[in-house]
Amino acid sequence: MKEMKFGKLFLLLLLVFGIFQKGHSQNPQSREYTAIIEGFDWGPMVNKVVVGLNAPAKSVDMADYSVYAERSHDCAEVPVADAKGNRTVIFAYVSDSKGSRLEEGSFVTLILYVAPNLSICSALQYSRKAECRGNQWVNYKMTVTNNKTNQVWDKEKGRIMPIIDEFDLSGKYEYETGKSLTYAHFIPKKSASKAPLIIWLHGGGEGGTDPSIALTANKAFNYASPEIQKYFGGAYVLVPQTPGAWMHDKDGKTQSGNGEDVYNVGLMALIKEYVNAHPGIDKKRIYLGGCSNGGYMSLKLILKEPNYFAAGYISALAYQSQYITDAQINSIKNVPIWFIQSKDDKTTDPVKTAIPVYERLKKAGAKNVHFSFYEHVTDLSGMYGGENYYFNGHWSWIYSHANQSHTEYDGSEVLLNDKPTTLMEWTAAQAKK
């Protein structure tokens, strides 16, 4: 009798212990992951994932983990080849819940391989559908598996986007009744009384009402990076977004300077309102740049108000020279401008845009105009082929965001105070008199 009671008690203890163990291994928290999305020269990639551990650890083996990804969108079509697939884990380390490395911690961060030609890594999908045209955030679902313990994390807890998370994405400016522009902005962490303002105008694929896309689709957030901020001693960054495209006329058709767009008046009003609302901005150091559609609008605003901006930095200009009068050229010859474009740009032909505008400015007597003209847009990192890897020739803004432009039209170095300089170092040195 005593043996039976002891046996039952032993079985009961085993059952309770088993339930506890089962419950512990299936802790709901352990099933959640945090995705980390970082911006690269070619766009935002899901390049890290953070998962919780059941107990603190000091080391982790990346070979224990596998990651499977699925990309989808309610409107934009995701090609079948880019919709799902395995991700390659290239490193793993013990971390905190935000991915910062620790000697001992309760989380592990997996670093995932990314490349410009691997769409399965991308957090965006470009859509040509009228109802969701342009770049769209995809639903990015990951399944992380520990192949030793069979533990699975398949529910997204949140996302971390370095630098982008430092921007305020809630900006909205109504320039007419029922018509508004959204914008993202960054305020520098500095104590000086005045700081310059960097403005970036996105391209044709980043329109809409979500300014995070205007920030990340082509790495515009990098103007808030420590590397670029140091040239300015801290700078405000303003990234407006149009619901359509900057070059659209009243009928929604794209024009190249031969017509009147419907956004320049409202955009200029937004900029002035923003400057007036932030007394910390130095009005003598307001810099305006943009690419493609945004390059068109940058030049448009400089043509309309040449005395407002301290300098312009324009890549893949979409404003055709034939629609700019000699009088207009003469009116902006004293505005410092740096053009960037690639010879193989098939979208905004430099023969019709940047080349003649630059040459006309030089002929008019412009003393501080520069033009970095590339054979191709190549891999700046050197990890994917370097000079032998060609991006789309239209993507010359890569050099702007990475602050890699430093050459004149003839290939010589741009000089600042008789020393070679870069785009952002040069920009920071410009000021209205």
Report the pLDDT value the prediction gives residue 334, as an integer from 0 to 100: 98
Going from the C-alpha of 36 to that of each of 46, 99, 122, 142, 230, the distances in angstroms are: 6, 8, 12, 12, 25
Instruction: Please indicate, yes or no, whether residues 143 and 199 belong to a single structural domain of this protein.
Output: no
Which CATH number belongs to the domain containing residue 189 in this structure? 3.40.50.1820
Lowest mean pLDDT segment, chosen from 20-24, 116-120, 293-297: 20-24
pLDDT of residue 30: 52
How much is the pLDDT for 433? 87
Instruction: Detail the DSSP E strand segments found in 187-333.
Output: 195-201, 236-241, 281-291, 311-315
**Mean pLDDT taken over the chain:** 93
| Residues above pLDDT 70, as percent of the chain | 93
**Would you tell me how many other CB atoms lie within 10 Å of the CB of residue 152?**
15
Give the pLDDT band (50/70/90) at residue 140.
Answer: very high
16: left (phi over 0), alpha (psi -120 to 50) or beta: alpha
How high is the pLDDT of residue 218?
Answer: 92
Residue 1 lies in a domain: no
Q: How far apart are alpha carbons 35 and 151 in whole angstroms?
A: 18
Asked whether the predicted pLDDT for residue 240 surpasses 60, the reply is: yes
pLDDT at 12: 44
- Which of 96, 130, 160 terminates a domain? The answer is 160
pLDDT at 381: 94
Q: What is the mean pLDDT of residues 423-428?
A: 98
Do 203 and 146 lie in one domain? The reply is no
Task: Write down the pLDDT at residue 191.
Answer: 63
Q: Is the pLDDT of residue 4 over 60?
A: no
CB 329 within 8 A of CB 358: no
Q: How many residues make up the chain in this entry?
A: 433
Give the mean pLDDT of 291-308.
98
Domain boundary (131, 160, 189) is at 160
Q: Are 98 and 157 within 8 A, CB to CB? A: no
Q: Does residue 1 have a pLDDT over 50?
A: no
| pLDDT above 90 for 17 | no
**Domain membership flag for residue 17:** no
Distance CA 399, CA 423 (A): 9
The verdict on 171 and 223 lying in the same domain is yes
pLDDT band for 190, please (50, 70, 90 cuts). Answer: confident
State residue 106 phi and psi, 5-degree precision.
-105, 15
How far is residue 140's CA from residue 156's CA, in Å, rounded to a whole number?
Answer: 9
Do both 118 and 172 map to the same domain? no
Residues 367 and 342 grouped into a single domain: yes
Q: Give the CA-trace dihedral at 357, 358, 364, 368, to 10 degrees.
A: 140
Condensed to tens digits (0 to 9), the pLDDT of residues 350-377 reads 999 999 999 999 999 999 999 999 999 9
DSSP 131: G
pLDDT digits (tens, 9 = 90+) for 365-418: 999 999 999 999 999 999 999 999 999 999 999 999 999 999 999 999 999 999
Q: Are residues 224 and 312 in the same domain?
A: yes
15 has pLDDT over 90 = no
As given in the structure block, the two tokens for residue 412 are 């010589």
For residue range 321-351, what is the model confidence (pLDDT) as tens digits? 999 999 999 999 999 999 999 999 999 999 9
d(CA 296, CA 339): 12
Q: Which residue has the higher pLDDT, 8 or 231?
A: 231
Whether 255 and 378 share a structural domain: yes
Q: Give 91's strand partners.
A: 111
pLDDT at 16 over 80: no
Query: Distance between CA atoms of 61 and 94, rounded to whole angstroms?
Result: 10
Please state the φ and ψ torsions of residue 371, each to the nearest 5 degrees.
Answer: -150, 105
DSSP 296-364: HHHHHHHHH-TTT-SEEEEES--S-GGGS-HHHHHHTTTS-EEEEEETT-SSS-TTTTHHHHHHHHHHT
What is the 3-state composition of the chain as percent helix, strand, coil, each rounded to the nearest 5? 30, 35, 35
* Number of domains comprising the chain: 2
How far apart CA 87 and CA 120 sit, in angstroms, is 8
Range of the domain at 197: 164-429
Q: Which residues have C-beta within 8 Å of that of residue 191, sequence separation ≥ 6?
A: none
Do 64 and 199 have their domain in common? no
Q: Give 192's pLDDT tier (boundaries 50, 70, 90).
A: low
Band the pLDDT of 193: cuts 50, 70, 90. confident
pLDDT beyond 60 at 5: no
pLDDT digits (tens, 9 = 90+) for 23-47: 334 444 459 999 999 999 999 999 9
Average pLDDT over residues 1-10: 46
Q: Give me the phi and psi of 57, to 5 degrees please.
A: -140, 160
What span, in angstroms and rounded, lies between the C-alpha atoms of 101 and 376?
A: 38
Q: Please give the helix or strand (H or E) that residue 425 lies within, else none.
A: helix 423-429
Using the predicted structure, report yes or no on whether residue 114 has a pLDDT greater than 90.
yes
Domain-terminating residue out of 160, 181, 205? 160
Residue type, 65: Y
